[in-house]
């Protein structure tokens, strides 16, 4: 009996859903990181900008 190496369309659809969920989870992590770290990064850039301006730039 030959089972073949191909996956059925049902398996392909399931893996597409799994990849979609994985991409959504990664997107949520990136959004959360930007939300929580965005203020700190913005403050750091503002401090550097102020230091450059006061140094004669």
Say how far apart CA 23 and CA 18 lie, in whole Å.
9
Question: From residue 57, how far is each of 48, 53, 54 by CA, in Å?
Answer: 12, 5, 7
Say how far apart CA 30 and CA 35 lie, in whole Å.
9
Q: What is the mean pLDDT of the chain?
A: 84
Mean pLDDT of 35-43: 89
Going from N- to C-terminal start, the domains of the chain cover 27-52
Mean pLDDT of 38-54: 90
Mean pLDDT of 39-44: 89
Say how far apart CA 40 and CA 14 lie, in whole Å.
40
Residue 43, both tokens: 């403050």
Say how far apart CA 3 and CA 11 lie, in whole Å.
14
Mean pLDDT of 33-52: 91
Residue 9 has pLDDT above 80, yes or no: no
């Amino acid at each position: 009996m030959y089972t073949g190496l191909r996956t059925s369309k049902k398996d392909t659809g399931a893996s597409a859903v799994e990849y979609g969920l994985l991409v959504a989870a990664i997107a949520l992590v990136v959004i959360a990181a930007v939300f929580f770290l965005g203020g700190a990064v913005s403050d750091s850039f503002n401090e550097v900008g102020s230091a450059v301006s006061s140094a004669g730039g």
